[in-house]
Structure 1
Amino acid sequence: MDYQQAVNKWLAFETLEPELKEQLSEMAQDEKLLEDAFYKDLEFGTGGMRGEIGAGTNRMNTYTVRKASQGVADYIKAAGPQAMNRGIVIAYDSRRKSPEFTQEAASTFARNGIQAYVYEAPRTTPQLSFSVRELDAFMGIVVTASHNPPEYNGYKVYGEDGAQLNLEAAEAVIAYVQQVGDELAVEAGNYNELVQLGMIQVVGRELDEAYLELVESVQHHPKLAGKENLSVVFSPLHGASGSTVRELMTRAGYTNFSYVEEQMEPNGEFPTLKSPNPEETGAFELAMKQGKETAADLLITADPDGDRVGVAVKQGDEYVLLTGNQTGAILIEYLLIQLKEKGNMPANGRVIKTIVTSDLGRIIAEYHGASTEDVLTGFKFIGEKIKQYNETNEYQFLFGYEESYGYLIKSFARDKDAIQTVLAVTEAAAYYKLQGKTLLDVLHDLFERHGYYFEGLVSVTKKGADGARSIKALMNNIRQQPLSEIAGIAISSQEDYLAQSRTFIDGRKDEKLILPQADVLKYLLADGSWVCVRPSGTEPKIKYYIAVMGLTKEESMTKLEDIKTQFTSAMDMRFEA
């Protein structure tokens, strides 16, 4: 079916929601807009689906949510009556249509005879992950688009271990979703009736309490002296984490912990922000203003679904934003020191990070006697490793993280957890303040000890059908016409995760990569730097990750800027070719 046929099918659907019918009418004069909305089905991938909200098969709306939910329901039914009785937990964040999409999903599951548990108000992604395990549910879903702009929403799927579905399970679910076929033909369930029948159970406070008790166990020094001397400003960026963090930090005894009240209430319009992304300086604008007024030591922001964290540290009269890699390095240093000092450092302790995350974390972990393992980008792969090592006891999980501001300290959740991280970062800052140090001082000490590891990220946005084709063409181009150098530095080896091979430029025999297939290319340079190219799985972007190491700050900064500028320029030329 071409996109025009799909458009006609929707136009002819008599019971189409009035809001979507009106949008279709408005789109009728814009052929490009219609094509993008209907040229394909919204992709249900290995992590679920994410897209712009609106009319169309390539959009997040009631019908695409029903279709996805019917596919997941068919997967659960195929697993048998026990899986159906264990059921599925659904949480949602502050985004547009999140409550409505949640009710549609829950109604679809319940109508299929699957027990559904639904949070009565916004909750974080890590709490959903925890809840799947706490309720012994068979699966979980969180309705969120993380840090995307307001016009987006999404649907992430979790397995019974509380982690996002592993590749094998995800492929099976994808097949079931594809078999559903016509999204307009999926029957709606009656939410209120299904609640009355008990097939949908509304959950909340009891699970909040169980989760908070476990988060409190992240502390190494619950009775740390001088907590009141550390001043912190926190913002959930209009997301789901505000009330949870407020209660947690009160319980933990951090009395000088304040909040950006204008951003505390969940609001999917994100009215005070250009972007609800803790990676961006703009997300800290109000926190910085408040921090300067109160002379706060630390600023912390969390993204809308409460799984990622940004940190800024006071330096003089200004604030310096830490990168995701830098926060991860500081946390590894702090957590492993605490384990060693208390005699709790396991002989088989392991830190897990992604292939695009800084090598500084590996160096710090090894310095303290822990091993490190790389996995593909995506926290599901960290969750998968936690499950594996819990079963085999080969390694003991110590910490998991990725450069995109996601961290996990204790594995009662199996996805990155901003709530745990807020408490851990605050405790680390209070601990080091007693020694007369800021977190920036700690980072500088790490650089002096191990070398100046600097990283950069370039994201190139290519929207719509043309953009998707353009990104695919670029990846094909650089595979067919391989690079031999980057910014004048020779490439020593290339890792192609689609071909699952490592190729050495000096003629050594190729090696097989043991990680799963992924459309990722990584170039290791002769001076120890590396560049990784990866299309985003959740946004219409292609990303260039760059990492360098030098003996001085100046050497690393210069090298990073040279590689970033010249590599981006070279890729732009290939886009135009």
Structure 2
Amino acid sequence: MNWKEQYTRWCKEVHLDVELKEQIMLMENDLTHVEDCFYQYLQFGTGGMRGEIGPGPNRMNIYTVRRACQGLAEYIVETGEKEIDQGVVIAYDNRHKSKEFALEAAKTLGANGIKTYVFSDIRPTPELSFAVRHLHAFAGIVITASHNPPEYNGFKLYGYDGGQVTSEVAENITSKITKLQDELKLQVIEIKQLSEKGLLQFVDEEIDRVYLEQMEHIRVNKQLSQSSKDDLKIVYTPLHGTGAYLVQRGLKKHGFNNVTIVKEQENPDPSFSTVVSPNPEEKASFQLAIEYGHRLDGDILLATDPDGDRLGVAVKNLDGDYVVLTGNQLGALILDYILSQKESLPKDGVLLKTIVTSEMGRAIARKYGLETIDTLTGFKYIAEKIKEFESNKDHTFIFGYEESFGFLIGDFVRDKDAIQACLVAAEMAAYHKSKGKSLFEALIDLYCQVGYYQEDLASLTLKGKHGTEKIQHIMNEFRSKKLDSIANGSIEVIEDYQNGVRYFSVSQKEEKINLPASNVLKFHLEVGSWFCLRPSGTEPKLKIYFGVRGEDLKSSDIMLTRLKEAVMDNIEGFTKDE
């Protein structure tokens, strides 16, 4: 159907949800808005789907959730009776409609005879990953849009290992979803009936308890004195999200008592009323935490995103001003701390990072004699590698991270885990303070040891059908024109992850890239710099990543600025050509 036919179909549905019907009536004179809501189905990618809340197949609503869950249900039923019995764990964050969507998921799965374990209140995403493993469930769902603006929500799907489903499984489920003819007619069973049939069980405190018990295994320096912990002044904000309870419990359990929470942001708020964006990658989200920090002379400011899987950290620089560490900087610090504190390291130990994560991690791992393995962007690929290591027993996982503030220390969770990262970041800060150093000074020391790596990220937000087409046009231009130089530097290697080819400019030879196909391009310059273009799989954005390595901070800053300006000029030129 075209968008007009889809729109008409929804308008004529007698039993359409009352709130959605009212929203459709309000938009009837805004045809551009109507087209965007109805011109396609919300894309179900490798990790699930994410979009603005509203009516229509291209929005998050009870019907698009039911459609996704029906596809999952058919996949589970097809897999076997054992998998049906194992059931599905469902968690949700504090966003608008999250609990409603979580219950719709349970009602749809229940209508297919599949049991669900539903958290009775909001929980962070990493706890869902843990719960799937702990309950031996076959799959997991978390309703969240992570750090996106308030108008968004999403649906993330997990496999039996606690990691986001593999591409193969996602494709299988997607094919089933695509065949569903009418999402408005899908059958559900009401919550009371599900409970009576034994197809729904609410879970909460017991999972919290065992999850926090596992945190004992991520202590890095068990000899760190209590006085060192008491001396550390921590300010923490959950940014109105799900992290407050578990982070505070975890810090206390690990002996950190000098913790002040940002009261204005402690309670869940689906509108995230005190921040423009609940994203700990952005300094603006730290505004209140920084005010607390100055007032209390805080040593470390911690901020978790709404679904508790990303951690941002702010520390004082040499001038006494708070700066937000990048995900690359924080990951490098945690990696070096973990490796430096171990008495011995396994010979087969491995650092896992993504292709857009800083090369600084590789340099640190090399310093300690460890291998680094790159994965595609997305923590699901790191989880897949951990699972592969368990099967082959050829590597030992040490640490995994990505530049977008995702970190994993203990593999009892198979997704990025800000709860774990908070505890280790606090321990790391206490350790360095006991040695007379701030975390910022520890970072400078690390630069001196392995090189001055600097990274940056630019995002082009291009919404709607035209925006999607423009992003693809830019990718096509970079893919077809094969640049030979940029920012006064020769391009030595071009990696095309969609076609699975690594091209060497000088020799004009090609080699295969042994990673799944993905619409990503990465360009390596002769001076060790690089940039990468990747359309987001969950947002209407083109993400452009930049990385350089200089002899000092000043030279690396200059290199980074020049590279970024040159690449963005090229993108602007390609856009004008359209």
Which TM class, normalised by the smaller chain length?
over 0.9
Q: How does 1:318-337 map to 2 (within 5 A)?
A: 318-337=321-340
Q: How does 1:386-535 map to 2 (within 5 A)?
A: 386-535=386-535
Distance 1:402 1:220 in 2: 20
Q: 2:279 aligns with which of 255, 277, 280?
A: 277
Q: How does 1:233-244 map to 2 (within 5 A)?
A: 233-244=235-246
Q: How does 1:521-560 map to 2 (within 5 A)?
A: 521-560=521-560
Q: Which residue of 2 aligns with 1:163?
A: 163
Distance 1:479 1:558 in 2: 27
Secondary structure at the aligned position of 1:527 is classed as coil
Q: Offset of 1:250 from its aligned partner?
A: 1.5
Q: Counterpart amino acid of 2:179?
A: Q
Q: How does 1:97-136 map to 2 (within 5 A)?
A: 97-136=97-136
Q: Counterpart amino acid of 1:40?
A: Q
Distance 1:216 1:243 in 2: 17
Is this contact kept in 1: 2:110–2:188, CA < 8 A?
no
Distance 2:368 2:158 in 1: 33
Q: Offset of 1:507 from its aligned partner?
A: 2.6
Q: How does 1:74-89 map to 2 (within 5 A)?
A: 74-89=74-89
Q: Which residue of 1 aligns with 2:143?
A: 143
Distance 1:181 1:489 in 2: 53
Q: Which residue of 1 aligns with 2:563?
A: 563
Q: Structure 2 stretches of 5 or more lacking a match?
A: none
Distance 2:160 2:181 in 1: 26
> Which deviates more, 139-148 or 474-483?
474-483
Write out per-residue CA displacement over residues 45-69 of structure 1, whole angstroms, 9 at most, x where no aligned residue: 1110000000011000010000000
Is this contact kept in 1: 2:126–2:308, CA < 8 A?
yes
Distance 1:267 1:180 in 2: 35
Distance 1:5 1:195 in 2: 38
Q: Counterpart amino acid of 2:241?
A: G
Secondary structure at the aligned position of 1:491 is classed as strand
Distance 1:216 1:233 in 2: 22
Write out per-residue CA displacement over residues 161-212 of structure 1, whole angstroms, 9 at most, x where no aligned residue: 0000111111111111112221111112201221232211000000000000
Q: How does 1:179-328 map to 2 (within 5 A)?
A: 179-222=179-222, 224-225=224-225, 226-315=228-317, 316-328=319-331
Distance 1:323 1:190 in 2: 45
Write out per-residue CA displacement over residues 65-107 of structure 1, whole angstroms, 9 at most, x where no aligned residue: 0000000000000111110000000000111100000000011
Secondary structure at the aligned position of 1:399 is classed as strand
Q: Which residue of 2 aligns with 1:63?
A: 63
Q: Offset of 1:223 from its aligned partner?
A: 5.5
Is this contact kept in 2: 1:143–1:153, CA < 8 A?
yes
Write out per-residue CA displacement over residues 122-170 of structure 1, whole angstroms, 9 at most, x where no aligned residue: 1011100000000000000100000000000000000000000111111
Distance 2:355 2:181 in 1: 36
Is this contact kept in 1: 2:520–2:535, CA < 8 A?
yes
Distance 1:179 1:75 in 2: 13
Is this contact kept in 2: 1:104–1:189, CA < 8 A?
no
Q: Counterpart amino acid of 1:4?
A: K
> Which deviates more, 403-412 or 559-568?
559-568
Q: Does 1:176 align with 2:153?
A: no
Percent identical pairs in the alignment equals: 47
Q: If the length of structure 1 is used for normalisation, what is the TM-score? A: 0.98
Distance 2:181 2:512 in 1: 38
Write out per-residue CA displacement over residues 346-378 of structure 1, whole angstroms, 9 at most, x where no aligned residue: 111000000000000011011012111000000
Q: If the length of structure 2 is used for normalisation, what is the TM-score? A: 0.98
Q: Offset of 1:320 from its aligned partner?
A: 1.4
Q: Counterpart amino acid of 1:296?
A: G
Q: Which residue of 2 aligns with 1:366?
A: 366
Distance 1:576 1:236 in 2: 42
Q: Counterpart amino acid of 1:38?
A: F
Q: Structure 1 stretches of 5 or more lacking a match?
A: none
Distance 2:202 2:23 in 1: 32
Distance 2:509 2:284 in 1: 48
Q: Which residue of 1 aligns with 2:376?
A: 376
Distance 2:370 2:315 in 1: 27
Q: Which residue of 2 aligns with 1:17?
A: 17
Is this contact kept in 2: 1:231–1:256, CA < 8 A?
yes
Distance 1:474 1:220 in 2: 45
Q: Counterpart amino acid of 1:262?
A: E
Secondary structure at the aligned position of 2:163 is classed as coil
Distance 2:326 2:279 in 1: 13
Q: Offset of 1:222 from its aligned partner?
A: 4.3
Is this contact kept in 1: 2:221–2:341, CA < 8 A?
no
**4+ residue stretches of structure 1 with deviation over 6 A?**
none
Is this contact kept in 2: 1:120–1:203, CA < 8 A?
yes
Is this contact kept in 2: 1:222–1:252, CA < 8 A?
no
Distance 2:570 2:509 in 1: 28
